[in-house]
Amino acid sequence: MYNKYFPENEYHTPANHKRSVWDILSLGGSAYFKIRFLKFVLQNRRYALDGVYDTARWAHSSYEIFKFVEDCGGKFHITGFDHVDAVKDEPVVFISNHMSTLETMIFPCLIAPVKEVTFVVKDNLIRSKTFGPVMRARDPIAVGRTDSRKDLMTVLNEGKEKLIKGTSIIIFPQSTRKLDCNPSEFNSLGVKLAQKNKVRIVPMAIKTDFWENGKLVKDLGIARRKKPIHIKFGEPMAIRGSGKEEHQFVVDFIQDHLREWQQE
């Protein structure tokens, strides 16, 4: 069994999975989706403020959001759980493209049941009154995204401490959420972190535009129910030499899968 929530190497939302009655009654609108998601956030915020938002609760709350997305018409296609299982006894750096709020909500239930993990996030997220307590409870690495040199040192220094303790790190090398993967906007920070600490990387390709970014509040977007959700874990890789080849492999891995999925 790879994961208490996902025991098989692949997961595909059953074709006959029924949408929530409330989602159906919303007639495809965004109100129910936003209100229900905000309820999850406030519930988890309360757990965090009470000091009980540990890894197990984090993973479970993530799975609750996963099922909620399915109940709102989301169709997941997730492959490569064996690659997460292959590194269950070692800290690694997960490197993924970043498309929407969905991956930050869903990754915990895909990874945290197997190994301790945290994110590299924007520092304004941990300062947020709404999302801040939840993120701080998971002890992330916070960067400003305005000074690349400072961010590099923060990730390398704090990342080293976490990796030594056995905590893996999820990093989104793009400076912001993007529907594509432009190599010029995809930095090599994850590869550098892995190289410096002699740990492996696990590439991840995602297509999560089911959850559209919000216009007023970025995390409170609407659900595009006709868009399938794809997440693929790649094979763990050691960094050899300068890491340029491994970085290019990650970029190609993501671009190739995005092209494949966008043809659906």
- Which residue reads 């410096």 in tokens? 196
CA distance 76 to 69: 9
CA distances from 122 to 159, 180, 263 (A): 15, 20, 32
Q: What is the pLDDT of residue 215?
A: 67
- Which residue reads 């905000």 in tokens? 38
Q: What is the pLDDT of residue 218?
A: 65
DSSP state of 216: S
CA angle, corner 172, sides to 225 and 82, nearest 5?
A: 75
Q: What is the pLDDT of residue 147?
A: 78
Pairing type for strands 168-171 and 117-122 reads parallel
Section 232-247 average pLDDT? 95
Q: What is the pLDDT of residue 235?
A: 98
CA distance 249 to 203: 9
Q: What is the pLDDT of residue 109?
A: 98
The better pLDDT of the pair 22, 82 is held by 82
* Every domain of the chain and the residues it spans: 10-262
Question: With bands split at pLDDT 50, 70 and 90, how would you rate the model's confidence at 91?
Answer: very high
Q: What is the pLDDT of residue 217?
A: 66
Q: Is domain 10-262 classified as CATH 1.10.287?
A: no
* pLDDT value at 1 more than 80: no
* pLDDT value at 259 more than 80: yes
- Ranking 44-48, 114-118, 225-229 by mean pLDDT, the lowest is 225-229
Q: What is the pLDDT of residue 214?
A: 65
Section 83-101 average pLDDT? 96
The better pLDDT of the pair 221, 172 is held by 172
- The average confidence (pLDDT) of the chain is 91
CA distance 252 to 264: 19
Q: pLDDT > 70: what percent of the chain?
A: 94
The better pLDDT of the pair 148, 241 is held by 241
Q: Is the overall model pTM greater than 0.75, yes or no? A: yes
* pLDDT value at 29 more than 70: no
Q: Which amino acid is at 84?
A: V
Section 210-227 average pLDDT? 75
* pLDDT value at 151 more than 70: yes
CA distance 204 to 212: 20
Q: What is the pLDDT of residue 183?
A: 77
- Report whether 111 contacts 84 (CB < 8 A): yes
The better pLDDT of the pair 26, 142 is held by 142
Q: What is the pLDDT of residue 202?
A: 98
Q: What is the pLDDT of residue 223?
A: 77
* pLDDT value at 64 more than 90: yes
- Ranking 34-43, 51-60, 231-240 by mean pLDDT, the lowest is 34-43
Q: What is the pLDDT of residue 33?
A: 85
